[in-house]
Chain A
Amino acid sequence: MEIFGDMGELAAEKHVEYILSVEKKKDSFESVVMEHLRMNGAYWGLTTLDLLGKLHAVDVDQIVSWIIKCQHDSGGFGGNIGHDPHVLYTLSAVQVLALFDKLDVLDIEKVSTYVAGLQNEDGSFSGDMWGEIDTRFSYIAICCLSLLHRLDKINVENAVSYIVSCKNLDGGFGCMPGGESHAGQIFCCVGALAITGALHHIDKDLLGWWLCERQVKSGGLNGRPEKLPDVCYSWWVLSSLIMIDRVHWINKEKLVKYILDCQDLDNGGISDRPDDAVDVYHTYFGVAGLSLLEYTGLKAIDPAYALPVDVVNRIFIGRQSKKES
């Protein structure tokens, strides 16, 4: 197995080791910026482990009790203990609990009331009580409420029409009406429309072409015209293409090779571009991207909920195996 050197393969074990030991050097900028978004870090790291089939390597009870401590009186979650609630971290908390099949520890009424309370009259969503509005928050709120089976708490029709108002002439979506199309925002808008059963608002052929134009010669994907490719866009672009059923329009082999080229084969982890420094965020998006590309040995991930397919099925189809036993 020492012939890893020629790219070609996913260094799965190295990535597991990397995630389990994300050891922050004391003075690194990363350790400082991670403090407030630890909940996102937990989601990225743990979902990656699950896709790699290694979720059992962590202590579930410890993580669940930490997550509960991050919950605020309002029902929302902060990025860490004692931090203010924000919808970004609330979704991550719900997603991590879903991974562990522990959604039952939540007071679902309370969490969903918090999330639903962030909807504005025009259908848009704010991220927190301070009111920053962005289509990212529309996706996050809709995804979160759907996982909790509480979409009935918001005005879905208005939520959809706000997202549609952010559609551009190229078929893509921006962060607000008039905002430039951006693959990350497109994922959010397409994901929200997929979850609410409103994909008919999308011009799939036009958007599909824009998305497949994101693939550059190296095989990687960029997020906007004339920008550099980046592993995280493997997720944003690919998942969008899958949701609108146009993923066969890109060259999958070249994209797989690009992601594999971004691995740190010595210490594990995946970076944005070949030879850059790795981080948990790009490791997650790289592995998730490969999962969408049906890479051997990885669990399948759901393109809309950004959770393993078996987790999503457990939530929406039920838990036959448990009932039977």
Chain B
Amino acid sequence: MASSSSDEEFRQWIPFRQRPEWSDVKPLPQDDGPSPVVPIAYKDSFVETMDYFRALYHGDERSFRALSLTSEAIQLNPGNYTVWHFRRLILEALEVDLQNELDFTEAVARGNSKNYQLWHHRRWIAEKLGTIATSKELEFTRKILSLDAKHYHAWSHRQWVLQTLGGWDDELSYCDELLEEDIFNNSAWNQRYFVITNSPLHGGLKAMRTSEVSYTVKAVIAYPENESSWRYLRGLYKDDNHSWVNDAQVSSACLKVLSAKNNYVFALSTLLDLICHGFQPNQEFRDIVDALGTPDSDRQGSDLAKSICSVLERVDPIRANYWRWRRSKLSQAV
């Protein structure tokens, strides 16, 4: 933090009324109205900064001192959208080099990166800079994601950058990298889907299916309790149930997980979905599901789907009602 020039002003905070360059400004206090609901007592430095801010804002003073005042106000409360708005007006009026503004937003992000205004401002800058900003934006989001790999704002920004400015070349390998770090990262799986369906480099979902299925099958077998990878696998067959039901890789992945008898809820629910869509299970599937049933559970005979629902109801009790509903839907269908 200390290396950034905008931070130096904050090392020792001097009240505005003691700063000679501000002597001509008459501060404008906040009118909180008469309401007793959610009364607020503000910190002094915050009150004074905002009083001077209001004075300049109402006078529409788009100057360099106004710009530095907005820096201070944003550091105190990065959520105040009016301050950000006014800052953009000033930046436009002064025709400031926006590369510096990227540094400012990075400094703010170091304090609190979960702030809508910050990201909206960053997008505004990137939009103005155009494709020369691409690599910086990808690098910036990568930095934020290295601290919090599920950061919603950073992912949104990154997707916007890719779609608006480009820079797809390394995106799939970036997803590989993140999933290697944490295979349970739903955001990274989502990004992977975003890449294979939107990137101009890969030829779309169908062209990618073979390689993606083998990648994902490995993932579900390694960590069968991973909701994200199972959903991704299903998503690879979007609008193509026929291929999904008939791809032996999917059913044999289920079989493999079920044989290990560990963390098999998603494998079992996938098998249930397959059967509901016309998959014809052989004896091997029946034997394995039978082996998961409790001895006292009523034997459903030939109705494998019903047995599956019973097992799921027992091993996933918090969602017992859901599995019971799945079972009731089976009898309705008959």
* Pairwise interchain contact A45-B38, C-beta atoms closer than 8 A: yes
The verdict on B82 contacting chain A, using a C-beta distance below 8 Å, is yes
B54 touches A248 (CB 8 A): no
Contact with A along B72-90 (1 / 0, CB 8 A): 0000110111100100100
Cβ of B37 and Cβ of A46 under 8 Å apart? yes
Flag A78-118 by CB within 8 Å of B: 1 or 0 each: 11111110100000000000000000000000000000000
Known: A65-B34, A224-B186, A249-B322. Contact between A180 and B43, CB under 8 A? no
Query: From residue A201, how far is it (CB to closest CB) to chain B in Å?
Result: 16
Q: A130 to B152: give the CA distance in the assembly, Å.
A: 21
Closest to B37 in A: A42
Q: Which residues of A contact B77 (CB under 8 A)?
A: 32-33, 35-36
- List the B residue with the shortest CB-CB distance to A28: B43
Task: Establish whether residues B318 and A215, one from each chain, have CB atoms under 8 Å apart when the complex forms.
Answer: yes
Total interface residues on A, CB under 8 Å, equals 66
Q: Given A63-B37, A170-B231, verify A81-B42 contact (CB < 8 Å).
A: no
Chain B residues with CB below 8 A from A35, complex form: 30, 40, 42, 46, 50, 77, 80
| Chain B binder among A18-26, A191-199, A290-298 | A18-26
Contact of B81 among A36, A170, A209 (CB under 8 A): A36
Kindly state the separation between the CA atoms of A224 and B116 in the bound complex, as whole angstroms.
19
Give A219 to B318 CA distance when docked, in angstroms: 8
Q: How far is the CA of A215 from the CA of B38 in the complex (A)?
A: 32
Say yes or no: B38 contacts A132, CB within 8 Å.
Answer: no
Indicate whether A238 reaches chain B with its CB closer than 8 angstroms: no
Q: Name the interface residues of B20-37: CB closer than 8 Å to any CB of A.
A: 30-37
Cβ A26 vs Cβ B41 within 8 A: yes
Q: With A169-B193, A180-B155, A180-B187 given, is the CB distance from A32 to B36 under 8 Å? A: no
B259 contacts the other chain (CB 8 A): no
Q: Is B150 an interface residue (CB 8 A)?
A: yes
Residues of A contacting B317 in the complex (Cβ-Cβ under 8 angstroms): 251
Q: Which of B123, B184, B232 contacts A226 (CB 8 A)?
A: B184
Q: How many contacts A-B (CB < 8 Å)?
A: 170
**A150-180 at interface with B (beta carbon < 8 Å):** 168-170, 174-176, 178-180
- Is B64 on the interface with A (CB-CB < 8 A)? no
Contact of A130 with B79 at beta-carbon distance under 8 Å, contacts A82-B30, A169-B238 already known:
no
Q: Which residue of A lies closest to B195 (CB)?
A: A178
Distance of A181 from chain B, by nearest CB (Å): 8
B contact face: mostly helix, strand, loop, or mixed? helix
* Residue B39, interface by CB 8 Å: yes
Query: Does B185 touch A at the CB level, under 8 Å?
Result: yes
Question: Which of the listed residues B30, B193, B197, B318 has the most CB atoms from chain A within 10 Å of its own CB?
Answer: B318
Q: Are A81 and B32 in contact (CB under 8 A)?
A: yes
Contact B322 A81 (CB under 8 A): no
Determine if B105 is an interface residue (Cβ-Cβ < 8 Å). Answer: no
B174 within 8 A of A: no
Assembled-state Cα–Cα distance A221/B61 (Å): 48
Residues of B within 8 A of A58 (CB): 36-37
Give the residue of B36, B82, B152, B320 whose beta carbon is less than 8 angstroms from that of A59. Answer: B36
Interface string of B182-200 (1 = CB under 8 A from A): 0011110011011001100
Name A130's closest neighbour in chain B (CB-CB): B85
Question: Quick check: is A243 within 8 A (CB to CB) of the other chain?
Answer: no
The answer to whether the Cβ of A229 comes within 8 Å of any Cβ in the partner chain is no
**CA gap between A36 and B116 in the complex, in Å:** 14
B163 proximity list for chain A (CB < 8 A): 178
Which residues of the partner chain B approach A132 to less than 8 Å between Cβ atoms? 116, 120, 123
B38 with A280: CB separation less than 8 A: yes
A32 to B227, CA, bound (A): 39
* C-alpha spacing A178/B195, complex, angstroms: 9
Interfacial chain A residues near B35, Cβ < 8 Å: 42, 59, 62-63, 65-66
In the complex, whether A9 has a CB less than 8 A from a CB of chain B is no
Q: Is B159 an interface residue (CB 8 A)?
A: yes
A-B contact pairs, 21 of them (CB 8 A): A22-B39, A26-B41, A32-B46, A35-B46, A36-B80, A37-B79, A42-B38, A62-B35, A79-B81, A81-B31, A82-B30, A169-B231, A174-B156, A176-B160, A179-B155, A208-B322, A213-B227, A226-B228, A249-B322, A249-B325, A251-B320
**Further contacts, 11 of them, CB under 8 A, given A26-B41, A176-B160:** A23-B39, A24-B41, A34-B38, A35-B77, A41-B38, A81-B32, A83-B82, A169-B231, A169-B232, A179-B190, A251-B319
The 6 A-B pairs with the shortest beta carbon distances in the complex, nearest first, are A169-B235, A66-B33, A66-B35, A180-B190, A249-B322, A41-B38
**Chain A residues engaging chain B, CB cutoff 8 angstroms:** 22-27, 31-38, 41-42, 45-46, 58-59, 62-63, 65-66, 69-70, 78-84, 86, 128, 130, 132, 168-170, 174-176, 178-182, 208-210, 212-213, 215, 217, 219, 224-227, 248-251, 254, 280
